[in-house]
Amino acid sequence: MARMDDSVREAKILDFIKNLTSAFFVVISVIGFLFAKAGRPWGEMLSAVGVSGAVGIFTNILAVKMLFRPIYIPLIGVPIPGSGVIAKNRDRILDTFANEVRNRLLTPDALKQAVSDEAFFQSVSPVLQREIMRLYLRRDNLRALLRVLEKPLTDFFSSPGFEQMVRERLLDVERSHFVLSLASKVGLFQVENLTKWIVSLVKDRWIHFLQGEEGLRELQRQVALMLSKISWEEGDAIKVFRETFERIVRRILERIDLGELAKRSLGEVEEGDVEAYLEKLAHKYLFWIEMWGGIVGAIIGLFMGIWFVI
């Protein structure tokens, strides 16, 4: 709530500065015209600065508004060509956003981080060593290992460490991509919400994977492969289990289309809310584009005014 209040306050301040600058150029224009009419030569220079600055800032404000929403010609109600580019390409933008999340989140480094929790392996290694060595002697008891795997993996996917890993990856994605960073600033890309959705999907997928026939067959293949490689050395057993665990986790994570999840979550946002987000974006990040229109216009007007006076 405090963050929202700060955002509203900042938007009001930027609006005030923009309106004050626009009013300044208008006042300068009027003063210049009055002085020029009174025969003061530098009145033309003032009016040129004011008119050019006002035209520049108003043109850029209109351009920014046209970017985010359609602008209609008064009376006839026909949209100005080129206006509402973002609104017209909503689906394409969502597709691009989904691809960025998909390509940047499920990277080899991310998957490697997901399966490199040393604390997890240290906590379960005594049980795993005992059960794996017992199963090495009794190869027909594969289901016992499934029961051993179920709780540690379920605990792992439910642990704060796994959630933190997902959150850190999302933050890395946000920081490394300009569009996603802007989307995060205005609330379109919400790291906490996406983290919770992803963790929930991973746990649901793991339960389905464990209880369904597909998961049973896959785990049995991996267990059989693991048991075929285990030696009498407990260290080797744990090493082989780690490799098996990595393959299982990778398979579960790769089955979840995080990009489609992000796209769906954004697609459910009401268009009015999207427009509000875009307004915030314009206020905060395109403010200087609008202001520079007035500044550059005023500089051009100054040179034109000097030319008129000379």
Per-residue pLDDT of 142-199, as tens digits, reads 556 666 667 777 777 788 887 888 778 777 766 666 555 555 555 555 667 777 777 7
Q: Report the pLDDT averaged over residues 111-138.
A: 55
What single string gives the DSSP state of each residue in 183-230? HHHTTSS-HHHHHHHHHHHHHHHHHHHHHSHHHHHHHHHHHHHHHHH-
Q: Measured between alpha carbons, how far apart are the two ends of the chain, in Å?
A: 57
pTM of the model: 0.45
Q: 47, 36 in Cβ contact below 8 A?
A: yes
Distance CA 218, CA 237 (A): 19
Distance set, CA 293 to CA 12, 15, 114, 157 (Å): 20, 15, 48, 52
Q: pLDDT tens digits for 31-71?
A: 888 888 887 777 888 888 888 888 888 888 888 777 777 77
pLDDT band at 19; cut points 50, 70, 90: confident
Q: Which residues of 123-147 are buried (b: 16+ CB within 10 A; e: fewer)?
A: ebbeebeebbeebeeeeeeeeebee
In the block, residue with structure tokens 């997901």: 114
Q: Are 191 and 113 in contact (CB under 8 A)?
A: no
